[in-house]
Amino acid sequence: MNTLLILSLIVAFLWAIPPILQKQLLSKYSKHTVFVVTVLTFATFVLLYGMHHKETLTNDIERLATNHKDLGTIVFIAFVCNFLASLLYYELIKHNSAHTVTSLTYSSPIFTIILAYIFLKEPLDTNSIIGAILVVSGVLVISQSEG
């Protein structure tokens, strides 16, 4: 197995853990508490990471300060793609099964394939199309088990 595959599977496994733990926590605490405490803890680690890469960050932030388009892109990612999506996710995971919610929300590769094709002009090959069809099929099968 190549490094890309191994590291990607490690990331996928690590991302599979939070829905289980979050579902358990949401049975005891409000979605607001779990969300805010999780984000604050994450922010602490991000700040520590940032202190370790201070020079690079300083240079890039100076450049971002004069590039409003890129700064706007980062704000869009942070607010819409991360903050709002996380709020919706916590609402979904509180009231639905973890496996169904993650099957539906982690179907993002389908959208990534389409958006990368449209905006980044990345090639859309047969394997990507077959993979997307299989993912959609799997998501549909799993989501039907919720009913």
Q: Which tens digit of pLDDT belongs to each residue from 5-54?
A: 899 889 989 999 999 999 999 999 999 999 999 999 999 999 999 999 99
113 with 132: CB under 8 angstroms?
A: yes
Query: How far is the C-alpha of 119 from the C-alpha of 38, rounded, in Å?
Result: 32
pTM: 0.81
Looking at residue 143, what DSSP letter applies?
H
Query: How far is the C-alpha of 58 from the C-alpha of 50, rounded, in Å?
Result: 10
pLDDT in tens, 70-115: 999 999 999 999 999 999 999 999 999 888 898 888 888 889 999 9
Residue 29 has phi, psi (to 5 degrees) of -130, 160
2 with 84: CB under 8 angstroms?
A: no
